[in-house]
Amino acid sequence: MSSNPPNPSKPPSPSAPPNPLRSTRLWITLGIILLANIIITNVLLAPAQPTTVTLPYDVFKQQVTAGNVISVTTTGDAITGVTKTPVNETKTGVTATHFTTQRPSFADDGLEPLLEQHGVTINAKPENPPPPFWETLLLSFGPTLLIVFGVLYLFRRIGNASGAGGLLGSFGQSRARLYNPETPGTTFADVAGIDEVKQELQELVDFLREPQKYQRLGGMVPKGVLLIGPPGTGKTLLARAVAGEAKVPFFSQSASEFVEAIVGVGASRVRDLFMKARQAAPAIIFIDELDAIGRSRSAGLRIGGNDEQEQTLNQILTEMDGFEPGKGVIVLAATNRADVLDQALLRPGRFDRRVTLQPPDRRGRTAILKIHAAKVPLGPDVDLDQIAGATPGLVGADLANLVNEAALGAARKGETVVSATDFFEAIDRILLGTERHLMLSPSDRERIAYHESGHALLGLLVPGADPVRKVTIIPHGGALGVTVQSPIGDRFNYGEDYLRARIIGALGGRAAEQLVYNNVSTGAANDLQQVTQIAHEMVVRWGMSPKIGPLAFAEDSGSGLGMVRPYSEATASEVDMEVKRIADECFADAMRLLTEHRSQLDSLARAVLKDDSLDEEQILAATGIQRQTPAGGGENGATQAAASVSAKAP
Ligand code: ADP
Ligand code: ZN
């Protein structure tokens, strides 16, 4: 089980202005207006139809002869007319002054003289009246309109599919163009715990503020700066802070967003992004996740989108070569793996400046906590330094998340301030995952209790192991039980003893099950994964196997398939043997220690079964073991420990 909580989501990127043609509301409104129009013109404004009777033709002629007809209107052989006194329709009994009748086409009856003779006004209408105006319009333009809208719709779909999210015009534009660059309000004051890095970037700020000053002295200002660091260490935050400090526009784009399904789109987006930034200069372009496109091309096979990545990458290189230094555009790019980047990116004139961000140490964590805790009301018992001490390995994003979780927890409880308890509960939630309610059988609970007690007891017994902070058999996240060990201080360099202690501790769960039940379960899957990883790295990365010697054979795990292994088959099998030897030795140690301390194992398991969770004091009390004095780690290496969590998976 990993102890690093997921990163909180990044600040939302500025959204694109809504494209008027895409808004459904607009379409609905248009539709309603059109409908209303049709109803009004055809129903409401239509002349009221008077009651009309239908007369047989001979009755009509009788009425004319009787002098009762005032006027007639003919449309072909159909006749409508008005009478002086209402006439009666025999069939229905309706009487009305308006009538219609149909003149037989064979009639040759001298109707016209008859009408004239009785002074009837005669009107005539063309047989096929011209269709109304709107009908003509619709008939002539309709098909064209349909085609136009169809094409627009299609392009929109393609636009969406390629991520451009727009109509024709946005084809191949970078999304950075679809929203206006922002000038972030972020400043260096919002970034804590990485002061050295801030100093390095201060120079960029100065340059962006007063480009002339630097050019006058002929100084070379970097075009590209690579921010390297694990996720959540504040790379994006720093880039925004540089723009915010210099008060220049900030164009932000994730490299993975350049690359879409359609080849060539990425390159044209890059072109566009740089053009826009040049127009806005001085400005900052921030490219996140540069390794998504900037992976070394020599690293053999790459999966998917090969051409497209290459073209996009080349375009970035071309653009960076293209602009003269001093134009005032600086490209900041973030990656968590500089080692997999294409060498071409790192050449002078490109990303030649590199800034590395490390997970913060205790002081840094305190400073970061201070920034984020300023936004919540803190209880008097909260000691941020103490919290920083309990969170080794957490990065800025985790700490921001921690403060948020603590505040949420306090709100759930209806408290007015966020107390120390809220913080420690939040740390547990982040480290262990949320509690789950599972119905476990008594025998399952007992087995889990022994498994976790095995981890915990070995954590106490093996010299150099990280202190055991907590044991629980309450299921958390994907784990049925958890043992938390965290170092006293930050560690940056590990001795072989420490690594072996980690392996022995991780095997403690399996060993306890073996010892107590004389059989094993699936519960140790995660533990074994950790064991394999540490043992493997000891052999191939850290040169801790006498057989292999002081050589590093670690594969570049980032380059994916196709990597040529830099050693022979014979060495490979020797590596496997050495990894197995280390694991076997450690398992034997674990079995031996637990056998020797069987009574302590039993009492610890009983205590966990009784209370579900034990903290450090309770664990020491249950086993009767004295607190260890910490074995110190120097502050000279590169890696850093997170709290290690041994979890029993279902
Ligand atoms: P990255 O880009 O390295 O993955 P981000 O810059 O996106 O990390 O960090 C995410 C969030 O974590 C930031 O918005 C900020 O709230 C917090 N954070 C990270 N590092 C720091 C720091 N050094 N100081 C203060 N807050 C930080
Ligand atoms: Zn375990």
Whose tokens are 């248009």? That residue is 30
pLDDT number for residue 628: 62
- Ligand 1 centroid–CA 367 distance in Å is 13
Read off the pLDDT of each residue in 423-441 and give the average, rounded to a whole number. Answer: 84
Q: Decide: helix, strand or coil at residue 341.
A: strand
Read off the pLDDT of each residue in 275-283 and give the average, rounded to a whole number. Answer: 83
Give the pLDDT band of residue 39 (cuts 50, 70, 90).
confident
Is 446 considered catalytic here?
no
Task: Look up residue 7 and give its amino acid.
Answer: N
* Strands 644-648 and 481-485, sheet pairing: antiparallel
Task: Supply φ then ψ for residue 435, to 5 degrees.
Answer: -65, 145
Nearest CA-CA partner of 351 in 265, 254, 281, 286? 286
User: Could you give the percent of the chain with pLDDT greater than 90?
Assistant: 25
- Residue 336 CA, closest ligand 1 atom number: 3
Measured CA to CA in angstroms, residue 165 lies from 157, 182, 275 at distances of 8, 20, 20
Query: What would the two tokens of residue 262 be?
Result: 């359609």
pLDDT digits (tens, 9 = 90+) for 46-85: 666 778 888 888 888 888 888 888 888 888 788 888 888 8
What is the C-alpha radius of gyration for the chain, rounded to an integer number of angstroms?
A: 41
Q: Which of 446, 452, 513, 578 is catalytic?
A: 452
Read off the pLDDT of each residue in 471-492 and give the average, rounded to a whole number. Answer: 82
Segment of 159-173, 360-374, 421-435, 566-580 carrying the highest mean pLDDT: 360-374
Mean pLDDT, all residues of the chain: 80
**Residue 10 predicted with pLDDT over 50:** no
Ligand nearest to the Cα of 194, by number = 1
pLDDT number for residue 365: 93
Q: Which of 199-203, 405-409, 484-488, 646-650 has the lowest mean pLDDT?
A: 646-650
**Choices 1.10.260.40, 1.10.443.10, 3.40.50.300, 1.10.8.60: CATH for 364-432:** 1.10.8.60
Nearest CA-CA partner of 190 in 239, 157, 145, 226? 239
Q: Do domains 177-298+305-356 and 442-648 have the same CATH topology?
A: no
Q: Which of 106-115, 267-276, 282-291 has the lowest mean pLDDT?
A: 106-115
Whose tokens are 């333009």? That residue is 141
Q: Does domain 52-103+110-122 have CATH number 2.30.30.220?
A: no
Going by alpha carbons, the residue nearest to atom 10 of ligand 1 is 397
Going by alpha carbons, the residue nearest to atom 18 of ligand 1 is 396
pLDDT number for residue 649: 53
pLDDT number for residue 61: 85
Cβ contacts of 391 within 8 Å, gap of 6 or more: 365, 398, 399, 402, 427, 643
* pTM of model > 0.75: no
Count other C-beta atoms under 10 Å from residue 374's C-beta.
9
pLDDT number for residue 451: 95
Domains of the chain, by residue range, sit at: 52-103+110-122, 177-298+305-356, 364-432, 442-648
Q: With helix as H, strand as E and coil as C, how does 412-466 read?
A: HCCCCCECHHHHHHHHHHHHHCCECCCCCCHHHHHHHHHHHHHHHHHHHHCCCCC
Ligand nearest to the Cα of 479, by number = 2
Q: With helix as H, strand as E and coil as C, how does 201-222 read?
A: HHHHHHHHHCHHHHHHCCCCCC
CATH no. for 442-648: 1.20.58.760
pLDDT digits (tens, 9 = 90+) for 583-608: 999 999 999 999 999 999 999 999 99
Alpha-carbon gap, residue 435 to 448, rounded angstroms: 16
Going by alpha carbons, the residue nearest to atom 6 of ligand 1 is 234
pLDDT digits (tens, 9 = 90+) for 99-130: 888 888 887 777 888 888 888 888 888 777 66
User: Could you give the percent of the chain with pLDDT greater than 70?
Assistant: 81
pLDDT digits (tens, 9 = 90+) for 191-241: 988 888 888 888 888 888 887 777 676 666 778 899 999 999 999 999 999
Pocket of ligand 1 from Cβ distances under 6 Å: 10-11, 191-194, 229, 231-237, 334, 368, 371, 396-397, 400
- Ligand 1 centroid–CA 255 distance in Å is 19
**Residue 33 predicted with pLDDT over 50:** yes
Cβ-contact 592, 457 below 8 angstroms: no
- Residue 237 CA, closest ligand 1 atom number: 6
pLDDT number for residue 562: 46
pLDDT number for residue 538: 92
Ligand nearest to the Cα of 527, by number = 2
Read off the pLDDT of each residue in 284-307 and give the average, rounded to a whole number. Answer: 69
Measured CA to CA in angstroms, residue 190 lies from 6, 74, 242, 356, 383 at distances of 21, 87, 11, 18, 20
pLDDT number for residue 266: 77
pLDDT number for residue 561: 46
Q: Does domain 177-298+305-356 have CATH number 3.40.50.300?
A: yes
Nearest CA-CA partner of 436 in 592, 560, 612, 617? 612
